[in-house]
Amino acid sequence: MPTTHLLYLHGFRSSPQSAKARLTADYLRHAHPDIHLWCPQLPPSPKAAMEMVANEIASWPQDSMAVAGSSLGGFYATWVAERTGCRAVLLNPAVAPARDLTQYIGEQTHFHNPEERFYFQPEYVQELRDLACGELKNPSNYFCIIAKGDEVLDWREMHARYQHSQVLLLEGGDHALSDFADHLPTVMTHLVG
């Protein structure tokens, strides 16, 4: 079934203003203007973030929706895909954010608006644990782009988590996937068919 709705989930300290989110929006506006894109600013609380997402997509047709997520957004996108059975594209997805984000407890700034601050609460770590999914129900629903040059997350851990899915393993690259524009057509093939 053709995709009618696409959810894009940004990473930790990121926003809908990220380069990848904006490139995705521009691509859809020109190539697939009929697809409804929702790229929300996610609250710092993982529980609140996924409650907001679940409430919004509750009215979406699950057989024609898809989700994309980057870094922490990839962890969230996995949660969404496991709940809905939709297709998902994961960009350097966080695998163990409860472990990795413990060091960020405290005041943080947003990458795209450093004046804007938020507080990453200690209880958010448990919220991340609560959102963790077990073995993927349908690995073929996932397409992952993983950069061996990721300076934030371990590519081996990402690859092991999604090894039964379709994976594009980049020899170099970086956490931000600075060359995302080059991969966008492949990403969209998976997301919109």
Q: What is the CATH number for 121?
A: 3.40.50.1820
Helical packing angle, 46-57 and 123-131, nearest 10°: 40
Identify the pLDDT of residue 15: 93
Q: DSSP assignment, residue 101?
A: G
Interstrand relation of 106-110 and 36-38 (parallel, antiparallel or unpaired): unpaired
pLDDT at position 114 is 79
Question: How many C-beta atoms lie closer than 10 Å to residue 25's C-beta?
Answer: 15
Q: What is the pLDDT along the chain (193 residues), one digit of tens a residue?
A: 899 999 999 999 999 999 999 999 999 999 999 999 999 999 999 999 999 999 999 999 999 999 999 999 999 999 999 999 999 999 999 999 999 999 999 999 888 787 888 999 999 999 999 999 999 999 999 999 999 999 999 999 999 999 999 999 999 999 999 999 999 999 999 998 7
In order of 1, 23, 165, the CA distances from 128 in angstroms are 32, 28, 23
> Does residue 191 contact residue 166 with C-beta atoms inside 8 Å?
no
- pLDDT at residue 116, rounded to an integer: 85
CA end-to-end distance (rounded Å), the chain: 8
**Helix 72-84 vs helix 123-131: crossing angle, to nearest 10:** 40
Q: How many domains does the chain have?
A: 1
pLDDT of residue 103: 94
* Domain span holding position 80: 5-192
Which two structure tokens, joined as six digits, stand for 129? 């644990």
DSSP string, 26-73: HHHHHH-TTSEEE-----S-HHHHHHHHHHHHTTS-GGGEEEEEETHH
Give the type of residue at 61: P
How many CA atoms lie less than 13 Å away from 105 in the CB half-sphere?
A: 11
Cα–Cα distance, 193 to 182 (Å, whole number): 18
Neighbours of 26 (CB within 10 A): 12
Radius of gyration of the chain (CA): 15
